[in-house]
Each structure stands twice: as structure tokens, then as C-alpha cells.
């Protein structure tokens, strides 16, 4: 569904991400892990069209979306929830959701259906449709931000650190919704620093370290999270049980 190949990107002339490759399949979660500053957000922004792709390709359902501007990527089926849950704080919950639908050109009739899906997924939002988003808890704002992206009926959803700043119980709730979304057939790219939470719902993982993938493979092959955590700190162990560790050159 989403195929990122040898992606090189950064800011201006500064290359931050080098030859990064990974796939996201329909109905699956690929977790893009890595510590602070590893290049996770930069990768996501390049896929969304917010950072220039220096080289490499980004394909959505086989089509090269690299040359498209951000809004056309969204129309092509990309849903994006950026870091720090951006919602319109003065607008009500429902207005925020409707904006998510309008901005992607979803038809009016479908908006009702989509709203219903979002409330089904996040019952906490159903009773608060007329509440200004700024009055929601951090967890509810995160749910609203995900809901906004769902309103555009994406095929592939990218979430940038949805667990950041949330209490453990709320993180579980958010990961639960990720699990439900993937069961509905959506492909999900889950960017996280929180290893345990992400690996719990992931089908595949790719670990970034200073802009390179240092480890990737099926989540089922990870029997020791410590291996990933070590990768975070640059002590990459040898190849383990189906996981490939690409040593940076
Ligand atoms: N707007 C920017 N201009 C220049 N450099 C940037 C910019 N944003 C990020 N960087 C640099 O790019 C590198 C990767 O940052 P990025 O935000 O992609 O990391 P991250 O993995 O998302 O980290 P975090 O987990 O803290 O969100 C860092 O060295 C960072 O300083
Ligand atoms: Mg980031």
C-alpha cells in the first residue's frame, strides 16, 4: 500500500534522512521507532509532501506520489495526524471533524456516515460534540485529531507520536483505536518513541537511528524489546530471529 524506498530528505541542503525504506500493508501497522531527533517526523513530513524528497520514492497503491503537492496526496488517500495533536481549540468537536472531511473533498452525504464511524471508534467524543476542542483532555484531543484524519476516508493513516504526553491508561485507549482501525483494513504508519505501546499493535517495525533504518522486520520476530532499545542507543546487535539489522555504512 505505502512503499517508501531509499528515501533521502531533510531541510534545505541538510540531509536528515538517508536511504530509508519500509512498507505499510493494508490492514497492518508499521511502527517507525527511534529516539528523539532520529528523523521520524522528517520521514513522515516527506511522505506527506511537506519536506522535499531529495531522492528515492514514495508510492501509494503503486502510484508515485512523490511529485504531488500535499493536498493531492491527501486526496490520493493519505491521512496525516501531525505531532502535538493540532485541533482548532475554539471550534467544537463536531466542527473540527467536519473540517477534516471538507478539506479532503468528501461528499456531504458521506460526512454523516464518517462522523458516526468516528463516534463509534471514540465513544468519549460522542457526548461532547458541541464542546470546544480546547476544553477536551489531552487524550480526547488526540482522539479528535485522529478522528479528523479519518473523516477524509484515507487508505493510509500516518500518526506522529500519538502517545506523547498522555497518561498510560489513555495511551492504551489510543492504541486500542489503532488496533480497531487496522482491523477495518486501513494501513497505518505509527511513529513512536514509546516502544512497548507501538510494538503491541505493530505488524512490522523499522527502527531509525540518525536518519537510517538500523533494524526492520516483522513485529512477531521481536521477542526481546531490549534489542530495540539497544538499537536506540546505537549498540546494534547481530541479526536476530528474522529481524535484519542494516549496519550504517
Ligand atoms: N525545521 C527544521 N529545520 C532544520 N532541521 C530540523 C528541522 N526539524 C527537525 N530538524 C532536525 O532533523 C533531525 C530529525 O528531526 P525529527 O524531528 O525528524 O526527529 P524525530 O525522530 O521526529 O524526533 P522526536 O521523537 O523528538 O519527534 C534533528 O536533528 C532535528 O534537529
Ligand atoms: Mg518527531
User: What are 53-111's pLDDT values in tens digits?
Assistant: 999 999 999 999 999 999 999 999 999 999 887 899 999 999 999 998 887 777 788 89
Instruction: Specify whether the CB–CB gap between 182 and 213 falls below 8 A.
Output: no
Output 231 or 37, whichever has higher pLDDT.
37
Residue 240's pLDDT band, with cuts at 50, 70 and 90, is: very low
Segment 202-220 mean pLDDT: 90
Segment 204-227 mean pLDDT: 84
Q: Which of 11, 14, 37, 198 to mutate to test the pocket of ligand 1 (most atoms within 8 A of CB)?
A: 37
Q: Compute how many other C-beta atoms are within 10 angstroms of the C-beta atom of residue 220.
A: 11
Instruction: Specify whether the CB–CB gap between 210 and 248 falls below 8 A.
Output: yes
Residue whose CA lies nearest to ligand 1 atom number 3: 11
Segment 7-27 mean pLDDT: 95
Give pLDDT tens digits for 120-167.
999 999 999 999 999 999 999 999 999 999 999 999 999 999 999 899
The two beta strands, 212-218 and 204-209, are antiparallel
What is the percentage of the chain residues whose pLDDT exceeds 90? 70
Please determine, for residue 10, whether its predicted confidence score (pLDDT) is greater than 90.
yes
For residue 207, what is the enclosing H or E element?
strand 204-209
30, three cell numbers = 508499521
SS3 state of residue 156: strand
Q: Cα(81)–Cα(95) distance, rounded to whole angstroms?
A: 17
- Is the Cβ atom of 211 under 6 angstroms away from ligand 1? no
Residue whose CA lies nearest to ligand 1 atom number 9: 42
User: What does the pLDDT read at residue 214?
Assistant: 86
196, three cell numbers = 512497548
Query: Which burial class, exposed, middle or buried, applies to 27 when counting CB atoms under 10 A from its CB (0-12, 13-18, 19+)?
Result: middle
What does pTM read for this prediction? 0.89
Q: Cα(234)–Cα(214) distance, rounded to whole angstroms?
A: 9
Which atom from ligand 1 is nearest to the alpha carbon of 193?
Answer: 25
What is the percentage of the chain residues whose pLDDT exceeds 70? 90
User: What does the pLDDT read at residue 219?
Assistant: 87
Residues with Cβ < 8 Å from 61, sequence gap 6 or more?
1, 77, 155
Instruction: Specify whether the CB–CB gap between 152 and 106 falls below 8 A.
Output: yes
Residue 237's pLDDT band, with cuts at 50, 70 and 90, is: very low
What is the pLDDT of the chain when averaged over all its residues? 88
Please determine, for residue 38, whether its predicted confidence score (pLDDT) is greater than 50.
yes
Task: Give me the residues paired with residue 4 across strands.
Answer: 22, 58
Q: Which of 10, 17, 34, 40 to mutate to test the pocket of ligand 1 (most atoms within 8 A of CB)?
A: 40
User: What does the pLDDT read at residue 247?
Assistant: 44
- Is the Cβ atom of 17 under 6 angstroms away from ligand 1? no
Q: 1-77+155-249 maps to which CATH number?
A: 3.40.50.300
List the domain boundaries for the chain.
1-77+155-249, 86-153
Instruction: Specify whether the CB–CB gap between 86 and 145 falls below 8 A.
Output: yes
Ligand nearest to the CA of 38: 1
User: What does the pLDDT read at residue 223?
Assistant: 65
Amino acid at each position: 500500500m505505502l512503499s517508501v524506498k531509499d528515501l533521502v530528505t531533510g531541510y534545505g541542503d541538510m540531509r536528515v534522512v538517508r536511504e530509508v525504506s519500509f512498507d505499510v500493508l493494508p490492514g497492518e501497522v508499521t511502527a517507525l521507532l527511534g529516539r528523539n531527533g532520529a528523523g521520524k517526523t522528517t520521514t513522515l513530513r516527506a511522505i506527506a509532501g511537506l519536506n522535499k524528497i531529495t531522492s528515492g520514492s514514495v508510492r501509494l497503491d503503486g502510484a508515485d506520489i512523490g511529485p504531488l503537492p500535499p493536498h493531492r496526496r491527501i486526496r490520493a488517500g493519505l491521512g496525516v495526524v501531525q505531532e502535538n495533536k493540532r485541533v482548532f481549540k475554539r471550534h467544537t468537536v463536531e466542527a473540527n471533524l467536519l473540517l477534516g472531511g471538507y478539506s479532503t473533498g468528501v461528499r456531504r452525504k458521506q460526512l454523516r456516515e464518517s462522523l458516526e464511524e468516528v463516534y463509534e471508534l471514540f465513544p468519549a467524543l460522542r457526548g461532547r460534540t458541541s464542546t470546544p476542542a480546547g476544553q477536551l483532555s489531552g487524550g480526547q484531543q488526540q482522539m479528535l485529531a485522529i478522528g479528523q484524519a479519518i473523516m477524509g476516508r484515507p487508505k493510509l493513516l500516518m500518526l506522529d507520536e500519538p502517545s506523547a504526553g498522555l497518561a498510560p491508561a489513555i495511551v492504551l485507549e489510543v492504541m486500542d483505536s489503532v488496533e480497531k482501525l487496522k482491523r477495518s483494513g486501513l494501513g497505518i504508519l505509527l511513529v513512536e518513541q514509546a516502544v512497548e505501546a507501538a510494538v503491541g499493535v505493530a505488524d512490522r517495525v523499522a527502527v531509525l537511528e540518525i536518519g537510517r533504518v538500523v533494524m526492520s522486520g516483522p513485529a512477531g520476530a521481536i521477542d526481546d524489546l531490549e534489542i530495540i532499545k539497544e538499537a536506540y542507543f546505537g549498540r546494534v546487535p547481530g541479526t536476530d530471529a528474522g529481524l535484519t539489522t542494516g549496519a550504517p555504512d
